[in-house]
A and B are shown apart, each in its own frame.
Chain A
Amino acid sequence: MSYTLFILLLPLISFLLIGVVDLDIPKTGKVWSHKVAGLIGTASLGIVTILSYMTAYQYFFCTPRLADGTLPTLVPYNATWLPLGDLHFDLGILLDPISVMMLIVISTVSLMVHIYSFGYMHGERGFQRYYAYLSLFTMSMLGLVLATNIFQMYLFWELVGVSSYLLIGFYYTTGPAIAASKKAFIVTRFADMFFLVGILIFGYYTQSFNFSFAGTVEYADGAAHFIACNPETALIKNAAMTVLPLSLVLMFIGGAGKSAMFPLHIWLPDAMEGPTPVSALIHAATMVVAGVFQIARMFPIWIEYAPQTLSVVVWVGAFTAFYAAAVACAQSDIKRVLAFSTISQIAFMMVALGVCLPGHGEHLNHSSLGYMASMFHLFTHAMFKACLFLGAGCIIHAVHSNEMAMMGGLRKYMPVTHWTFLISCLAIAGIPFFSGFSSKDEIITACFEYSPWCGAWMTMVAAMTAFYMFRLYYGIFWGTENKEAHAHHTPHEAPWTMTLPLIVLSVITVGTGVFTTLGGFLDWKWASFGSIVSASGIPYTVHFDPTIAGVSTVIAICSILLATWIFKGEKQPVADKMYAAAPRLHRWAYKRFYMDEVYQFITHRIIFARVSTPIAWFDRHIIDGFFDFLAWGTHKTSHLIKGFQNGSVQTYAFWFLLGAILLFLIMLF
């Protein structure tokens, strides 16, 4: 599959082309240049999408499976980039079930966003720049998932960070966008520092950065070698056994930063300052799941050498899921609601990975059901959340505001957006025959197998999810219409470039939902996600646990009904009463439990004031003073010796000879 290289090269070429070449052709005017840039970006992405689907088709259906039914790991390209003795940094392309699945997710959503942006960004200043950044981002994200080793992953990891920074700060003339882009970059970069340290510790001890090649896990060999080499004393063995979990947890911190896990989540809500399609692509569907993907990538190591440590992931994930859901219930900005919903859903995926238990062969499939569930949820979530964000984009496009107060009753004006939004809401709420149902149900099943408490907790969060999503839905499309705002500017349905992606994504959501739901109840092997992605690689057919499926469906429907009862009407007496009953709680949730203020306090009051100021003084007076002194001395010396070069040949010859004699004396003694 040599064409996989083009999956990376095409977006890179289009980035360079759009980014460097000035397409603004004077004769034809501005609009033309817009179209050209957009067309180049979209066309290259279209080809990438086709190539990705071809790859997926060939990989899943035409590649012969190994004896036990595992899909083989293919490496079409791998080249040593930096050799460092035994260790080496490689660059290459690795195809295995999760990377191919990610190819589909990224290329599909990215293509949809490219098409959508034609309408959404129409007439914006910097249209060309926007498409250049989109191409850069897509290239980096694809490189991240196709990486053959953890170091290459880190390289592209940073590149997605950069493109995310550039896109959040796209409207760089407005203050909040600048602040948000800086915040996102600094927070994720801070987390990435741990990631890098983790990689270095890992590479130092196991002598390998590579992911699995040809079915065997190379880094696991390295780790096994490392542990086997140090069995002599209990002390060293202990050290060996703690180093791997340590490095994995450090890497997880990096992943938590990118995936906005509490307490590193603070950048994601602010990142909504970027253009809405960007939020759909980067901050909902692809980049923010990089942390989940990273754990899935390192999963064989986690499960083999650090299964207990996975509970860190469970705790962080479970708390974040609840926290974000609680905050989402009180937000009034629709993109913020979606942002917190994203955090909460990613936390679901994290928890699913965390609740995996070690096992072997077929048994691993069962004990690590969460791995499959997490990847499945990643896929379904990407589709419906992208649809939700793009829908939100259409709404914002129509009413020119993010605030729910400016909306209400929009279903009359925007039928397509309304229906696709509703489908996605049903999917995220976990209603059967919508994609979210199957994946979320498996996550909750996995949680129950891990611990009943965990299962119950996640079920509660799932109920909250249904509640706040329908609060959002009713707030936008039903409820009180803001007649005053709509009077002088009637909302209208978005152009076809914007509605087409919505329809495509909701069709995928419904299609996946119908097949997997039916498949789950009727035991269709081919419709099971486990047949392509599972913890051990051996195909795994999912059966729905009727109790859990039934209970969670009932709970979801109850939550939706509750939300309908409270928020659907023109007047909302129940909601008003609830605010009145617990104003402080609402306020706390609205202010996101003051996490930003805590960060402000720590950075400004403690770090800046108590630590940085004295250091700055030292730097300015002692260090700078020293260097100023050196510079002054250099200039003085330079002034002193200028007579050396006086222009007279005789003097030159004299110095020549004198120098020679001095050197001779030095050599002689």
Chain B
Amino acid sequence: MDYSQFLNMQAELSLLAVIVILFVADLFMCADGKNGRGVYNTCLPVVLLTAHTLLNLCPSCQGAGEAFGGMYQHTPMMSIVKSILAVGTIITFLMAHKWLSRPENLVKQGEFYLITLFTLLGMYFMISSGHFLMFFIGLETASIPMAATVAFDKHRYESAEASAKFILLALFSAALLLYGISLIYGSTGTLYFNDIAAAVSFFNSSTNPVMLLGLLLFITGMGFKISLVPFHLWTADTYEGAPTVVTGFLSVISKGSAAFVLFTVLIKVFGAQDLVYAWDQAFLWIIIASITIANLFAIRQKNLKRFMAFSAISQAGYLVLGIMDGTAQGMTSLVFYLLVYMVANLGAFAVLTVVEENTGGITMDSYNGLYKSNPKLAFLMTLCLFSLAGIPPFAGFFSKFFIFMAAFKAGWHWLVLIALINTVISLYYYLLIVKAMYIIPNDEPLPGFKVDCYSRTALFVCIAGVVFLGLCGVAYNYIDAFAYGLDNMVNGLAEPIKCCCPSSCH
């Protein structure tokens, strides 16, 4: 056996090392019995995870690679997405500090880090999988610990209910997904991604209804993770019940990884022309339904977590817009959208978290007049919401612009028009919060408070992203250099034609 293939798994192995270190640290450095203060807190996981991210930030120059006979695949783009997810996790950890410092959570804080990191590890494997079995294991590694974090406030009734709903529907969708995978196996005789694509063209089974059903069930399984309509119904209840930090993680990291995997698997496995036509048709309706229905629900929400749930569903609709036709430009815009959505959404969640942890307010009414007591927080929240709504010059405008451009170039003019109309509706409900914070008078706004330094760091990172990601074209160009899609693949293998590492190639 060639052990050097482990080198391809740098990201996973280093994350595993982080997990092991944290596990040992948790064993020996758990909460102090006397004063109940956590001996190790947010610092250690954040530092370790940052080191891990920096180690894997720059995609290696070897370009695409495989390990274990194609079970594990790797492209530079995957490294980028993994890094984005890791950065998101770091921000989540920073946000979680205050919440984990609650007396009832102090003892459990090690659990939170470990569970979350296992989720992340599952996502890594899911992203890099080259085989449906590997993919499914990665998916479940990512989703079962997730249910545990949703139920993290276990004494709270809502948290438990949210978790129950989440795990039940996750099982339901996993069953359907497995069924779909078995159908794919039935019609092609293999589960390796590369072999399936070859088999589809060999047996000419791209119009085979069994294959189509397999494809559809795969889409439903991923649609559940990304929370696309009509597979989204768990989202609102789970987001509302889960601890706010976990909601932030769910709405960005979990969703983002699934969207990227959906893209890569679709172009890798279902890249035959007829299949592309089929999934384009399905996504056309999924996107329209996701954006529109989620927007219609979001208008009426009073609880901000629930509100963010519907906002996240509609954002997922925009995100999936990049999938249409599976072009390289689509991949670039999808990953860029993910990055920008991550900073803006986590920024908003960071504000929600600090406000909830310090004052307990989580409804829209409690935010009335926030500007008076916490002008800086209100301002940051406004920036994030503007970015989510896509107002220039914030990053959200550029990410929406690129994703619309990709879909428009692929020929989906009507779809882009509908998405554009929906941005107007989304602007309306995002501005509702801004209106509450700045305009609606309130004699007793939430009291002013000082934000802890971890949350400050998280907010700082998010706001820097919101302001600069769009204005500096570097991020987009960097992602673009590694993108691949149906229009530039070599030998049916996902391998970018363009030169890999812009800095150190020659």
Contact = CB atoms under 8 A, between A and B. Distances in A.
Nearest to B207: A668
A649 B220 contact: no
B427 interface: no
Contact of B233 (A642, A655, A666): A655
Given A649-B165, A652-B233, A663 B282 contact: yes
A80 to B, nearest CB: 11
B312 interface: no
Contact of B168 (A639, A641, A649, A659): A649
A647 B293 CA distance: 17
Q: Output the residue of A634, A639, A641, A651 with the most chain B CB within 10 A.
A: A634
A666 B287 CA distance: 14
A645 B240 CA distance: 13
B415 interface: no
B236 A658 contact: no
A634 B299 contact: yes
A667 B286 CA distance: 12
B32 to A, nearest CB: 41
Contact of B230 (A642, A658, A664): A658
A667 B212 contact: yes
Contacts of A659: 220, 229-231
Given A649-B169, A653-B169, A655-B233, A667 B281 contact: yes
Interface in A615-669: 631, 634-635, 637-639, 641-642, 644-645, 647, 649, 651-653, 655-656, 658-660, 663-664, 666-668
B67 to A, nearest CB: 34
A663 B289 CA distance: 12
Interface footprint category on A: 20 to 34
A274 to B, nearest CB: 30
Interface in B219-238: 219-220, 224, 229-231, 233-234, 236-237
A641 B169 CA distance: 21
B285 A663 contact: yes
B486 interface: no
A669 B370 CA distance: 53
Given A656-B233, A663-B219, A642 B213 contact: no
Contact of A664 (B172, B216, B236): B216
Contacts of B215: 667
A641 B296 contact: yes
A637 B236 contact: no
B403 to A, nearest CB: 21
Given A637-B296, A647-B237, A667 B172 contact: no
B185 to A, nearest CB: 18
B278 interface: yes
Interface footprint category on B: 35 or more
Contact of B220 (A634, A642, A656): A656
Contacts of B176: 660
Nearest to A669: B281
B209 interface: yes
Contacts of A641: 293, 296-297
A656 B231 contact: yes
B425 interface: yes
A666 B278 CA distance: 8
Given A634-B425, A656-B220, A656-B230, A666 B297 contact: no
A644 B297 CA distance: 10
B113 interface: no
A652 B215 CA distance: 22
Nearest to B161: A647
Given A645-B236, A655-B230, A667 B278 contact: yes
Contacts of B42: none
Contacts of A647: 237
B296 A666 contact: no
A638 B296 contact: yes
B299 A635 contact: yes
A630 B224 CA distance: 31
B300 interface: yes
Nearest to B224: A656
A546 to B, nearest CB: 61
B159 to A, nearest CB: 15
B264 interface: no
A639 B296 CA distance: 8
Nearest to B280: A667
Q: Output the residue of A660, A664, A668 with the most chain B CB within 10 A.
A: A660
Contact of B212 (A639, A651, A668): A668
Nearest to B231: A656
Q: Output the residue of A635, A653, A658 with the most chain B CB within 10 A.
A: A653
A658 B293 CA distance: 16
Interface string B230-259: 110110110000000000000000000000
Contacts of A653: 168-169, 172
A638 B298 CA distance: 9
Contact of A642 (B164, B281, B300): B300
Contacts of B168: 649, 653
B299 A652 contact: no
B446 interface: no
A649 B285 CA distance: 24
Interface in A388-412: none
B141 interface: no
Interface in B150-176: 164-165, 168-169, 172-173, 176
A488 to B, nearest CB: 48
A655 B176 CA distance: 14
Contacts of A655: 230, 233
B476 interface: no
A667 B219 CA distance: 12
Nearest to A655: B230
Contacts of A652: 165, 169, 233-234
B279 interface: yes
B126 to A, nearest CB: 21
Interface string A406-441: 000000000000000000000000000000000000
A660 B220 contact: yes
B217 interface: yes
A655 to B, nearest CB: 5
Contact of B172 (A634, A656, A658): A656
Contacts of B233: 644-645, 651-652, 655-656
A90 to B, nearest CB: 15
Contacts of B297: 638, 641-642, 645
Contacts of B213: 664
B108 to A, nearest CB: 27
Interface in B265-279: 278-279
Nearest to A653: B172
Nearest to B220: A660
Nearest to B283: A663
Given A631-B428, A653-B172, A656-B220, 5 more contacts: A634-B296, A638-B299, A641-B297, A642-B300, A663-B219
16 contacts: A631-B428, A639-B300, A645-B297, A649-B164, A649-B168, A651-B233, A653-B169, A653-B172, A656-B173, A656-B220, A660-B220, A660-B231, A663-B216, A666-B282, A666-B285, A667-B278
Which 4 residue pairs are nearest across A and B when measured between Cβ atoms? Answer: A659-B230, A652-B233, A638-B296, A667-B278
Interface of B: 164-165, 168-169, 172-173, 176, 209, 212-213, 215-217, 219-220, 224, 229-231, 233-234, 236-237, 278-279, 281-282, 285-286, 293, 296-297, 299-300, 425, 428
